Amino acid sequence: MDFRVIPVEGYEKVVQCHDTYSGLNAIISIHTTAHGLALGGMRMWPYATLQDALLDANRLAQGMTYKSAVAETGFGGGKAVILGHAQRDKTKRLLRAMGRFVDVLGGQYITGEDVGTTVEDMSIVRQETRHVVGLPRAQGGSGDPAPYTALGVFLGLRTCVEWALHTTDLRGIRVAVQGCGNVATHLCQHLRQAGALLTVTDVVPAKAQRLAQQYGACVVAPEEIYDVPCEIYAPCALGGTLNDYTIPRLQCRIVAGSANNQCLRAEHGDALRQRGIVYAPDFVINAGGLLNVAMELAPTGYDEAHVLEKVRRIADTVRMLLDTAASQDVSTHCAAMQLAEHKLDTARQIKVSSPAGRGAPAPVSVGTLPGRQRRHSSRTPAPCTAAVPHADHH
């Protein structure tokens, strides 16, 4: 296995791994372990270029830092991405190689399932490293995190409806769902049971047709979803769908979905606000799955009742952010970033002042990996003005 350290400003460690034998080409991005070990999923996607994969890994890792901070999991932010088509390129050999890659980092990064990987895949990864969560319940894990993610999104979405539309009744509320993966399937079930009317789309037409048959949804082409008249646009696919091109097209009152990094840039949160669209910040509303897998690592062990209690609090956090944004005359994205930074600062102060924090072991050195070395900054970008992370290939 060949490793290459990629210096990225503001990130603790970013490493690329290439393994000829298994075909693995992957990146692990650790945004910070200053507040706890980095926890985040393992994504497999056919990125067009290595640069695209690097950008996605870094954006996702940073998002996990903020998600963990707001959800108060006690973990830092990290993410793994594998370059490849999950249906065509994923093999046991590749997953085991990925497990060895995770293990090389010595526990600084803990992985789990994400887009393109499954709970069953994590069982294979577990053969090479113990630094993995979201294992099948038969193996002592917490199982599929998707139902918990979907529940948190549904509760946060319903809070937005109450706040913006002054009703708790979702009957007849039109929801345009982008992406028909695992989380979206569970979300659509909640929405349909509540009486919502669904329009769905996916880049894989068969997935959209399956949800249409299950929940009586209308199906549109992927590019048409932004133009669908609805009360709620629910982005449940990849990130960046809220951008200069799509926001002017939206015909909704609310944006609330499960995708990570929905706003391509921070100013797109302001653009939604300027259009009068209520936005539930993604790293707040979609934290249910993270809360579920994080519970596996609790000293007291996994407790589903405790997980559900925490997931239900997501609605309270969304309501607080809606009120805060309105009172401060800022976007909900900005309010959420300020909340995350406040919680991170509080965690830093507690860690520095506590005897346990002062005596904690130092993170594994970058020097334990082959490749170029450079001092990394653990500084996190300022709230609401964070630049898109970039790689330094010098």
* Residues recognised as catalytic: 79
User: CA torsion 82→83→87→88, rounded to 10°?
Assistant: -130
Is the Cβ–Cβ distance between 82 and 24 less than 8 Å? yes
Q: Quick one: CA dihedral 181, 189, 164, 71, positive or negative?
A: negative
- What type of residue sits at position 362? A
Answer for the pair 273, 242: CB distance below 8 angstroms, yes or no.
no
Beta-carbon contacts of residue 117 (< 8 Å; ≥ 6 apart): 41, 42, 43, 44, 82, 86, 90
- 140: alpha, beta or left? (left if phi > 0; alpha if psi -120 to 50): left
Tell me whether residue 353 is exposed, middle or buried, using C-beta atoms within 10 angstroms of its C-beta: 0 to 12, 13 to 18, 19 or more. exposed
Single-letter code of the amino acid located at 178:
Q
Report, in this order, helix, strand and coil percent for the chain, each rounded to 5. Answer: 45, 15, 40
Q: Quick check: 244 and 270 in contact, CB under 8 A?
A: no
Please report, in angstroms and rounded to a whole number, the separation of the first and last CA atoms in the chain: 22
- Beta carbons of 80 and 102 less than 8 angstroms apart: yes
User: How is residue 306 written in tokens?
Assistant: 């405790």
Picking from 380, 373, 370, 369, the residue whose alpha carbon sits closest to that of residue 6 is 373
